[in-house]
Amino acid sequence: MQKTIKNNVKIVGKGVHLGKPVTLNIKPAPANFGIVFKRLDVDSNNPLVEANFKNILSGELCTSLINGDGISVKTVEHLLAAFSGLGISNALVEIDNEEIPILDGSSIKFVESLIKAGICKQDEPLNFCSVKKAVKVVSKKGWVKFEPADNFILTVFIDYPNTCIGKQNFSLMISKDSFQRELCDNRTFCLRDDIQNMRSRGFALGGTLDNAVVVDGYSVINPTGLRRKDEFVRHKMLDALGDLALSGLPLLGHYVSYCAGHQLNNQLLIKLFSNHSNYEILVPNNLNSDKFVDRSFCLSSQNYRAVI
C-alpha cells in the first residue's frame, strides 16, 4: 500500500550550493498525492513543485525541479532518496527558500526524522513501474542504463584516477532494510582541486567539511575520515536513488551507471518515459493479502499484473 508520515517533521539547515539558511516542514499527505514541494517564500499563485521527471530543471552537480510558473527547488536528491528508500509515497514538503538543506551531506538525518515521525500505510494500493526494454544514455564521460529486472537493483561504477577514490563499484537490491543499512549515511564528496572552480560558478557556497568529504589527491581532508572505504561509490548510488525517485513510482529494473551524475540520471528517466514500450505500470494482484503488503518494496513482478 502507499505510505505517508504520521506527524509533521521540521528540519533546519542550509543549502550546500547557495549556502542559504532553510527550514523544511514535511507534512502527511493523502494517497495519490505524491511528493510535492511548496515554496513558502515566493509570491506566486502556483508555489507547488511536484517531484516528477516532467519538472526536471537541467543542471549539473545537483538535481533541481521547476514548475510551469518558473518556481524551482534545488538539490532535491538526498531528501527524495530518503522518501524512496523508506517507501514513503506521499508527503507535502514546505520549504522557505530555494534549496533543500544539505545537513551532513547524506540522507541519514532525513531518514531518522521521518522514522521518528512515524510511517503509516494508506488505503490505496501502490503501483510500480516495471522497465520492459533496455534504455541507455551516453555522454563524453560516462553512461547510464536501465535493464528489465524483477526487483529494483542499482549497480554503480566510478573512476577517479590519481586520487584515493580510484575505481570503485557497488551493487545493491534496494529495500527499506538495505537502504538504511548500506546506503543512507554515505556523504557527498568533491575534489579539493574543483572547489575554487565550483564556487566561481555559484556552486558549493555552503559546502564545509561538516557536510562533504573533500579529497586532496590520495588523502581525505576531513579529520574524521570516511564512514566506509567505498563511501564515494555508495554516495553516487544514493544520488541515483534520489534522482530515480522522480519516476513518481517505485521501479522494478536494474540501473547501471559508469562515471555518471545527475544529468545522465535525469536524461535516463526522460528517455525511459518517452516511449510507452519501454515500461509498464503494474498494480498488485491481491490487495487483501497481508503477505503482499508486508513485503511491499522487494516483490517480484510475478506478483503483479500489467494494467497498461
In the complex, the smallest distance separating the C-beta of residue 282 from Zn ion, rounded to whole angstroms, is 29
Q: What amino acid is encoded at 238 in this protein?
A: L
Per-residue burial over 53-89, b if 16 or more Cβ lie within 10 Å, else e, is: bebbbebebbbbbbbeeebbbbbbbbbbbbbbbbbbb
> Closer CB to Zn ion, residue 221 or residue 287?
221
135 versus 204: smaller Cβ distance to Zn ion: 204
Strand partners, 251: 129
Name the minimum Å distance from CB 149 to Zn ion: 24
State the minimum distance, in angstroms, from the CB of residue 55 to Zn ion. 19
**Calpha distance 3→10 (Å, rounded):** 19
CA atoms within 13 A on the CB side of 37: 31
Q: How much of the chain is helix, strand and coil, in % rounded to 5?
A: 25, 30, 40
Length in residues, the chain: 308
Per the annotation, the verdict on 262 as an active-site residue is yes
Q: Which amino acid is present at 296?
A: S
What CA–CA distance (Å, rounded) separates 135 from 118? Answer: 36
Of these residues, 17, 235, 262, 276, which one is catalytic? Answer: 262
Q: Are 5 and 91 in contact (CB under 8 A)?
A: yes
**Which residue has cell 517507501?**
87
By CB under 5 A, name the binding residues for Zn ion.
188, 239
In the chain, how many H helices and how many E strands? 7, 21
Tell me if 253 sits within 8 A of 133, measured CB to CB. Answer: no
d(CA 280, CA 216): 45
- Closest approach, Cβ 134 to Zn ion, in A, equals 26
Instruction: Give the E-state strand segments of 52-117 in sequence order.
Output: 56-57, 64-66, 72-73, 91-95
To Zn ion, the closest distance from the beta carbon of 88 in angstroms equals 19
Q: Write down the least CB distance from residue 257 to Zn ion, Å.
A: 13
What amino acid positions are annotated as catalytic residues? 262
